[in-house]
Amino acid sequence: MALRIGRAFGKIPRGEHYDVAIIGGGPAGLSATIYTSRFLMKTIVIAEEIGGQLNLTDWVDDYPGLKKIQASALVRSFHSHAQMFHPTIIERVRVTRFERISDKEFKITGTRGLEIYAKAIIMAVGSKRRKLNVPGEKEFAGRGVSYCSVCDAPLYRGKDAVVVVGGGDAAFEGAILLSGYVKKVYLVHRRDQFRAKPFFVEEAKKIPNIEFILNSVVKEIKGDTQVRSVVIQNKLTGEVKELKVDGIFIEIGFEPPKEWYHELGLETDESGYIKVDEWMRTNIPGVFAAGDCTSMWPGFRQVVTASAMGAVAAYSAYNYLAEKGFYKPYRPESKK
């Protein structure tokens, strides 16, 4: 589903100077791009993949103004909107390092020979969700395999059954939410103890259409054009059974690259997310962060909140450059 941009396979900038470098091409990064470009800042977007976690889902029905839209179409819309202001956008490039080389600039290096300079940086790299890595998971991503119950629960209204995998707050919140949309929710957890808050556990136990399957793991996800069943194995007895379901929600947490952030000098919270204030400022002057990579609003990671953070980060970057006296309006020529 990822959007492929032809320019990503062309010449990678080396030695170019920009006002702001946006690292990441999901909703936060592209929203930031729209705003930095509108502020007439010379902007480059560096992304491993345009779309971010939107590439892991199929439909979006909770973005204001769009009643229901395919995630891939929303990615294209974000990208098209950003391109309207003529930033430089490169894909399939991973930033490996940035360092301050003067009071005015950072040097940014990455794969495929990337080497550029920027006066400000916006980190919008998202956070990769943990996966089960079982047969069928990749094949049915966005077609019955979901990693966000809050995002996708309404899409399963009236369905017969779904599986929720996990034992933390997100899994229990998801199971409780889904119980109002589907007839049966199976909550599968590899242990018989939970990391979730006791309140969530007790609430879930009171709901008659939530069934707990404990000490068990998912072995395979099956289907045709959509998920149709999930194979579960009991870790204690070895018993294997196949559940007929309409979808599976994998809520086993995130994997922020905490060590990388620390190598860059960024402060993180205990979970490994970049610490930001209300204006998306990090501990490094001139470096901002937005979206799922931040410590802002943990547990509620949505397209709309990521987009909002991207806009705020862009505004903060603009103010930073203006206050430092680095701001000079950049007006790229229109590209036909």
Kindly give, in sequence order, each residue whose CB lies less than 8 Å from that of residue 96, ignoring residues fewer than 6 positions away.
109, 110, 111
The number of CA neighbours under 13 Å toward the Cβ of 155 is 25
What does the block give as tokens for 126?
């998202």
Question: Which residue is associated with the tokens 């229109």?
Answer: 334
Residues marked as catalytic: 148, 151-152
Tokens linked to 216: 């068990």
What single DSSP character describes residue 334? P
Strands (E) across the chain are located at 14-23, 43-47, 59-60, 69-70, 88-91, 95-100, 106-110, 115-123, 128-129, 145-146, 161-165, 184-188, 210-213, 216-223, 227-234, 240-244, 247-250, 254-255, 287-289
Is-contact 231 163, C-beta < 8 A?
no
Token duo for residue 256: 């922020």
Contact 252, 246 (CB under 8 A): no
Residue appearing with tokens 């103004």: 65
Which residues, 6 or more positions from 212, have their beta carbon under 8 angstroms from its beta carbon? 187, 189, 204, 205
* CA distances (Å), origin 246, targets 153, 155, 223: 12, 11, 9
- For 146, list phi and psi in degrees, rounded to 5: -125, 150
26 φ, ψ (degrees, to nearest 5): -90, -165
Query: Helix (H, G, I), strand (E, B), or coil: what is residue 266?
Result: coil
